[in-house]
Chain A
């Protein structure tokens, strides 16, 4: 009888030990959130994405919309890559739109950040013939729109 009890006991012990090992593995997995991407890696990733030779308009717009939702101002090299992608896809309007979006991302620090960004991307702007929103005359509201609810 004792022997049976002992055997049962050892089985239980074994099962418990297995479970503990499993659950500790689960805890280990749960605590790790994957590798944290460094800023450098992030910039590289987006630059490479925009620089892909077979990028299409959907992907370009998707990345721009995504970047707009992030809590940061994109690095000049990301902006340059995006502008080049616009050139590749022959979409001038999108390039200007993206510059406007970047200015919007500068938020209340536009006076400090935008001059730096502009100085960095100026060679690209000149070589591609892209105008900044201010040069396009879009620095100030130009046209008023009729309210859709009172049409």
Chain B
């Protein structure tokens, strides 16, 4: 009697950990995740009746084609009767399936093949166009600034003016010790070597 009571107490105490909360989706023995339809519609309103077949990129049931992650979390196409019939056929020998059926199956699971993912998109053209447009705009801005914003250059900026200026400095003997006049030979009338 006492031992039976003990067992009952033990059973009751064991029940507590059973109430632990499990938040992960329940996985069936085969492929897909079993979410009850209401929860599924709430979490993934656009999923339709596609199978959730894996973890995917980040745990969300979204479809992404990526060469780094070959297996996305869901199948690309919904489970239409055609696809389901093919899936049934898939359970038999694969060598008995035709090429068309195999291709159909692939496209039901995946959107793009690797070759299509990596195909050049011609994006460089639009990038080049943008770069050239930017260069043209900045060049045009520069021309406009020169044309109508900046004032005239000072009159001293010409070559003749600067030559005359040096001539005058030499005549005045400016910088006779280490400056410009020290390099002028007054006897020969030319620059010292």
Contacts and interface: CB of A to CB of B under 8 A. Distances in A.
B partners with A: yes
Interface stretch (A15-23, A33-41, A125-133): A125-133
Interface in B46-65: 53-56
Interface in B83-131: 87, 90-91, 93-97, 99, 102-103, 105-106, 108-116, 119
Interface residues of B, number: 37
A97 B106 CA distance: 8
Given A56-B29, A64-B71, A91 B114 contact: no
A90 B113 CA distance: 20
Given A93-B106, A98-B70, A103 B96 contact: no
Interface string A92-106: 111011101101100
A95 to B, nearest CB: 8
A29 B54 CA distance: 37
Main secondary structure of the interface of B (DSSP, over half): loop
13 contacts: A56-B27, A57-B32, A62-B55, A68-B67, A92-B97, A93-B109, A98-B70, A100-B113, A133-B115, A136-B102, A140-B115, A142-B115, A144-B119
Given A64-B71, A87-B94, A97 B110 contact: yes
A24 interface: no
A136 B103 contact: yes
Given A133-B114, A138-B114, A61 B55 contact: yes
A124 to B, nearest CB: 12
Contacts, number: 113
Nearest to B95: A129
A44 to B, nearest CB: 23
Contacts of B109: 91, 93-94, 97
Main secondary structure of the interface of A (DSSP, over half): helix
A92 B105 contact: yes
Interface residues of A, number: 38
B94 A136 contact: no
Contacts of A139: 115
B97 A93 contact: no
A151 interface: no
Contact of A61 (B53, B114, B119): B53
